[in-house]
Structure 1
Amino acid sequence: MAGNIVILNGAPRAGKSSIALAMQADLPGHWINLGVDAQNATLPPALLPGIGLRPGGERPDLEPMVQKLFLALYESVAAHARQGFDVVVDVGHHDAYSRPLGILPACARILADFDVLFVGVHCPLETIMARRNGDPDSLYVKGEGVPAPVQRWQDAVHVPGLYDVTLDTSAMSPEDCAAAIGRALAALPRPTARAQLAALTPLS
């Protein structure tokens, strides 16, 4: 029997990693986290920031590799789920590259045979900036107001925003978020991300 798949999609510092840890601690099953941080830890410097490449078309030279890295990640997600593992994927999808790359619908096609819960992890900009500025060791962009790269993430990461579950981490703890995901996984029948995301796939 295939495992569950939960995609956590949101901007950096929205709280996705904390939710993934809470899911591993609180939800039944063996949850494997195959998100952006896990993948980037395996990459050589030449491929960084990998799938964490932020919106704005800053690295057209890296974009073909970003496409391949996303597809490889989702193939790995499918492989783990096929073996019965539950998988949580911590990512920030966007299509604000130097040109549209269509990565999200391509990844959805890879998971077409699985039940998927697609979760939008929202967080107000003021909370995101407080988290960025409050971490002196972080490499995230910091500063007064909202720096342009942070605003671009906020504008791009939830397009088109077709989610099964939406969470606001400024109002919910990681444990609350994990519990909400657990309830959504237990609720049958429920919509699946593959059905929603199929609507994004261009017709040939």
Structure 2
Amino acid sequence: MNPQVIVLNGGSSSGKSSISRALQEMLPGLWLTFGVDTFIEALPNRGDSPRAGITYVQDGTITFSAAHRALELSWYTGLSSMARAGAHLILDEVMLSGGTGQERIQSTFAGVSMVWVGVRCAPEVAASREAQRPDRAEGMGRAQALSVHNGVIYDFEVSTTNRSTEDCARDVAGWLALSAGLE
């Protein structure tokens, strides 16, 4: 299997974006990175607007309106069209609804070769990283560290708790070379 799309799923501040960028340099060919942060950046006031359909709760919980979910479906439909047209994608995701979110993405990308990589990070480490980042809402890293993996089925997993994102990216690239035919 030669994947067209690599999905990295993990909580806030787990290191997914850094792994994505490192993979772009390590993998053969040209890979584009997109994900939840790219989508949020495109929303009105970068998602911090009632019009964006996102509600951030004090405990780190996030909820979405039906209008937001419809727009999200359009986002994934566009990305799947890019993959179907030949683009190689790395999706940096936070599956807040766990396996249900995975099913939504898989159905949108039906027929596209995908691999799923879990990016794990201990809640206390994610919370510490999050505290050092001004663009993160307090509590999200800890709240998401475990929950985003509930019900998600992975092809490969890494942990950034005690390893660098560069080392984790090398592990993913090595696994892809052996298992998925990317050399």
Q: What TM-score, normalized to structure 2?
A: 0.80
> Within the alignment, does 1:91 sit opposite 2:90 as a pair?
no
Structure 2 match to 1:201: none
The one-character-per-residue Cα deviations of 1:123-171 (angstroms, maximum 9, x if unpaired) are 0122112212223xx13234xxxx4x54432342111131111110123
Q: Which amino acid aligns with 1:156?
A: S
1:73 aligns with 2:75: yes
- Residue identity matched to 1:180: D
Aligned to 1:165: 156
Matched, 1:14 2:14: yes
Do the aligned residues in 1 keep the contact of 2:117 with 2:155 (CA within 8 Å)?
yes
Unaligned runs of 5+ in 1: 191-204
Closer, same or farther in 2 for the Cα pair 1:23/1:44, shift >3 Å? Answer: same
Q: Do the aligned partners of residues 49 and 126 (structure 1) sit closer, same or farther apart at CA in structure 2, a change above 3 Å counting?
A: farther
2:34 is equivalent to residue 39 of structure 1: no
Q: Which moved more, 1:124-133 or 1:171-180?
A: 171-180
Deviations 1:18-68 (A, max 9, x none): 011101122111111111121222111334475x96897754xx4213322
Which SS does the other structure have where 2:169 is aligned? helix
Alpha carbons of structure 1 residues 187 and 68: separation in structure 2 relative to 1, 3 Å: farther
The match for 2:129 is 131
Picking from 168, 172, 176, the partner of 1:177 is 168
Q: Which residue of 2 aligns with 1:104?
A: 102
CA contact 2:10–2:148 (8 Å) conserved in 1: yes
What count of residue pairs does the alignment treat as equivalent? 175
Pick the aligned partner of 1:140 from 122, 128, 136: 136
Whole-angstrom distance in 2 between the partners of 1:133 and 1:35:
22
Higher helix content, 1 or 2: 2
How big is the alpha-carbon RMSD for the aligned residues of Structure 1 and Structure 2? 2.9
Q: Is the 8 A contact 1:11 1:154 kept in 2?
A: yes
Q: Would you tell me which structure has more strand in proportion to its own residues?
A: 2
Mapped partners of 1:95, 1:159: distance in 2:
8
Greater relative contact order, per chain length (Cα 8 Å cut-off, separation 6+): 2
Classify the secondary structure of the residue corresponding to 2:151.
Answer: coil
Query: Could you report, residue by residue, the CA deviation over 1:80-139 in whole angstroms, capped at 9, with x for unpaired residues?
Result: 21222210111101228xxxx94431221122201111111100122112212223xx13
Q: Is the 8 A contact 2:119 2:157 kept in 1?
A: yes
Structure 2: which amino acid aligns with 1:127?
A: V
Residue 152 of structure 1 is matched in structure 2 by 143
The 8 Å contact of residues 3 and 85 in structure 1, kept in 2 or not, is answered as no
For the residue of structure 2 that corresponds to 1:178, the secondary structure is: helix
Unmatched 5+ residue regions in structure 2?
A: none
